[in-house]
Structure 1
Amino acid sequence: MNRPVKRILGRRELVDFPAFALVGVEAKVDTGAYTSAIHCTNIHIETPAGQPPVLVVNLLDPGHVGADGCPLTFSEFALRDIRSSNGEVQERYVIRAVVQLYGKAFEADFSLSDRSDMKYPVLLGRSLLRQGRFVVDVARRNLSCKFLARATARRTRP
C-alpha cells in the first residue's frame, strides 16, 4: 500500500496567490485553526443595480508588494461563524482562493478579517494542511520557497 508523500511546512511560510497576483506573502501555519484567514480591510457588500450582491474588500495592506490598494470583488462568498484566537465567535465572510505551496496550487476557504494587529497577514489552517498532506515542523520556516529556489537552481545549472 503506497502512502502519499507528506511535505513538511515550517511554522512560517511564504505563499503565493496567483489569482490576486501576489507572491511571497508571509503566512503563519496554525494547526489550531480550522479555516485559513487572510488580511482584508474595508470589507462590505455592494448590490449593483439589477445584479446580485458582491463582496468588496481591500486585500492586504497597500505597503505589501503586489497589493495595489484596488478593491477586489467576489461574487461567490459565504458568511460563517469563525472562532477567533481568543475564543470569541465572529461572523466573517469566507471566500475560496488558490494558494501555492511547493509550486502546487491548493484551493481552500479563507476567512476575511482585519489582521492588521497580527504579525502575519495570512494564516494557514488545518483544512488546507490536511488536503495538501502537510506536516508541520515548528523549528523550521519557509521550506516551500527554499525548495523552489533549490529546484530552480538545479534547472539553471550548466
Structure 2
Amino acid sequence: MKEKLLVGWKETLDLPELGIFGIEAKVDTGAASSVLHCNSYKIVNEDGHDWIHCELITNFETEETKVLKLKLYKSKLVKSSFGQEEKRYYIRTTAKLYDQVFSIKISFRNRSKMTYPMLLGKNFLYRRFLVDVSKENLSLKSPSK
C-alpha cells in the first residue's frame, strides 16, 4: 500500500493545466468535492459536447484573470453548506502538491466572499492524504522542495 502524504488544514498548490500557481486551498473533509472560485461561467454545447466558459483568477496577488474554455466532465445537483441544492459543473484537471501531480475533479462557484479561493474536498483527499488540522502548508515544507 502506498504511504499517504500529510497535509494541513490549508495547503498551497498549483493547477498547472489552468495556469494557476500558488493558490491557497482550505482542506475540507466535510465537503465531498473540490471547488474553485470562478468570477463567472456559462455552459455551451458545441459539436455535441458541453463546455464551460469561465473567468478564473490566475494570479491572486494582482487579480489577473483569464477566460478559459474547458470540457465538462459532468454536472450534478449538490447541497451547499447552507443546505440549498444547486447544480454544479465539474471538470477534470491536475493539481500539484509535494512536487507530484494528481488528477482532480473541480466544480466552479463564486467564492469571492470566502477566505480561500479553493476547497480541497474528501474525493480528492481519499486514499492519498492524511490531514493534520494543527498544521498548514506541509507540502511546501517538504524536504523535496
Match in the other structure for 2:37: 39
Greater percentage in strand: 2
- Pairwise CA RMSD: 2.0
1:95 Cα offset (Å): 0.8
Give the conservation status (yes or no) of the 8 Å contact 1:10–1:136.
Answer: yes
Q: Say whether residues 1:141 and 2:136 are aligned partners.
A: yes
Q: Which runs of 5+ in 1 are unaligned?
A: 153-158
What do residues 29-61 of structure 1 show as CA deviations (whole Å, max 9, x unaligned)? 00001111000122102356x67442100113x
Give the conservation status (yes or no) of the 8 Å contact 1:22–1:67.
Answer: no
Q: SS where residue 142 of structure 1 aligns?
A: coil
> What's the TM-score, normalizing by structure 1?
0.82
Match in the other structure for 1:156: none
Match in the other structure for 1:11: 9
Q: 1:18 to 1:131 in 2, by over 3 A?
A: farther
Larger radius of gyration: 1
Give the conservation status (yes or no) of the 8 Å contact 1:36–1:123.
Answer: yes
Residue identity opposite 1:137 in structure 2: D
**Cα distance between partner residues in 2 of 1:32 and 1:67:** 28
Greater percentage in helix: 1
1:77 Cα offset (Å): 3.2
1:151 Cα offset (Å): 2.4
Match in the other structure for 2:55: 58
Residue identity opposite 1:56 in structure 2: H
Give the conservation status (yes or no) of the 8 Å contact 1:22–1:66.
Answer: no
Q: 1:146 to 1:45 in 2, by over 3 A?
A: same
Number of paired residues?
A: 145
Q: SS where residue 144 of structure 1 aligns?
A: coil
Q: Which stretches of structure 1, 4 residues or more, deviate above 3 A after TM superposition?
A: 50-53, 65-68
1:131 Cα offset (Å): 4.0
**Cα distance between partner residues in 2 of 1:82 and 1:125:** 13
Q: Which runs of 5+ in 2 are unaligned?
A: none
> What's the TM-score, normalizing by structure 2?
0.89
1:76 Cα offset (Å): 3.1
